[in-house]
Structure 1
Amino acid sequence: MTQTSFFDFSSNPFFDPKNNPFLDPTKNPFLNKDLADVFTNMKTPGFDVQEMVAAQRKNMEAIAAANKTAVEGVQAIIKRQGEILKEIVDETNALAQEAGSNVGSAPEDQAARNLDAVKTSIEEAVGNMKELSEMLAKSQGEAFEILNHRLTESLEEVKSTIAKAKKK
C-alpha cells in the first residue's frame, strides 16, 4: 500500500509548525499539556463526571436491551413465516392429491371444491398477515417501552443533578 502525499509528514506543509499554528507548541497550549491530566482534574460546574458516565452506561444498556428485544421479535417473525410457509406447502400438496383423486367427478363439484379451497386460503393468508403484524407491533412496542423507560429515568437523573448543582 502506498502512502499518499497528504500523509507524508515530511512533504506535507500542513504538518510543518511554521505553516500550521495548531502544531506550534508556543501558540497551542494543549500541545504542552498531558490531556489525561487536564480531563482528570477538570471541574464541571456542579456535575459529577462519574454520574454522567454512569448515566451514559445506562443509556447504552437500554439501547442494547431494546435492540435485543427487536432482534428477538424479528427472529420470532421469521420463524413463524417459515412455519406458515411449511403449512402452505403441506396444504398445497394435500389439495393436489385431492384434485388428482377427484378426476372423474362432475365439473360443478370440482369448481365448488376449488372455490372453497381458494376461500380458505385467502382467509388463512389474511389471518397469517394479521398474526405477523401483531407480532411485529408487540416487538416494536416492547423495544419502545424499554427506551421510553430509560428516557424518563434519564430526565429524572438530569433534574436531580440540576437540583444538586443549585444547592452547591
Structure 2
Amino acid sequence: MAVSGNPFLTGDFAKFDFASMMDPSKLAEQWEKIDFTAVPEQFKVPGVDAQALVDAQKRNIEAFASANKIALEGAQAVVRRQAEILRQGIEDASKAFGELNAAGTPQDKLAKQAELMKSAYEASLGNLRELTEMATKSNGEAAELLTTRVSESFSELTGEVKKAAKKK
C-alpha cells in the first residue's frame, strides 16, 4: 500500500550540509547522503515510473552542480586576473611617476603625461575586454550545460509519457 504524504520529505535532511551548496564540488556529495531509494516505493502512481523521475532529478542535480563548478571556476579566474591587472597597474603607475619626475621642460612633462594617460586608457580597455570575454566564456559553458540538460529532460519526459500511453 502506498504511503500518503509527500514522499520527498522522507529523506533524512539532518545529514545534509546546506552550506555545501556554495561549494559545487561538495554539492553532489551532500545529495548522496540523502536516501531517495524509498521514494519509488512511496510514490506509486499508476503509469508513472517513479524511479525514472528520481534518476532524472539526480541527473538534473548533477548538471546543476557541474554548471555551478564551471561558473565558480570562471569567477575565480576573473578574480585572479583582476589581481594581476591591479599589480601591473601599480607597477605601471610607479614607473609613470618616475618618468614624469624626470628632468625636462613643462611642455615635455605635459606631453609625457598625455602619452601616459592614453596608454593607461588603452590598457584599461584591453583589460576590460579580456575580463568580459573570460566571464562570458565560463558563463556560456555553464549555460550550455544547463541548456543541454533541460533539452534531455524534455526528451526523457516525452519518452515516459509515450511509455505510459502505450501501457493503457
Task: Tell me which interval the TM-score lies in, with the shorter structure as reference length.
Answer: 0.7 to 0.9
CA–CA distance in 2 between the matches of 1:58 and 1:124?
A: 44
Bigger relative contact order, structure 1 or 2 (CA pairs below 8 A, ≥6 apart): 1
Partner of 1:154: 153
> What secondary structure sits across from 2:47 in the alignment?
coil
CA–CA distance in 2 between the matches of 1:122 and 1:41?
A: 64
> What secondary structure sits across from 1:46 in the alignment?
coil
Partner of 1:20: none
Partner of 2:116: 117
- The C-alpha deviation readout for 1:20-54, integer Å capped at 9, x for no partner, is xxxxxxxxxx6xxxxx8997265322121111100
Query: Unaligned 5+ residue runs, structure 1?
Result: 1-29, 31-35
The count of corresponding residues between Structure 1 and Structure 2 is 134
Preserved contact between residue 40 and residue 50 of structure 2 (Cα < 8 Å): no
CA–CA distance in 2 between the matches of 1:76 and 1:148?
A: 23
Query: Unaligned 5+ residue runs, structure 2?
Result: 5-9, 11-37
> What secondary structure sits across from 1:86 in the alignment?
helix
Partner of 1:89: 90
> What secondary structure sits across from 1:43 in the alignment?
coil
> What secondary structure sits across from 2:48 in the alignment?
coil
Identity rate of aligned residues, in percent?
Answer: 40
Partner of 1:107: 106
Q: 1:42 to 1:84 in 2, by over 3 A?
A: closer
Partner of 2:56: 55
Q: TM-score, normalised by structure 1?
A: 0.74
Give 1:123 shift: 0.5
- The C-alpha deviation readout for 1:117-163, integer Å capped at 9, x for no partner, is 00000011111111111111111111110100000000000000001
| Aligned CA-pair RMSD | 2.3
CA–CA distance in 2 between the matches of 1:85 and 1:74?
A: 16
Larger radius of gyration: 1
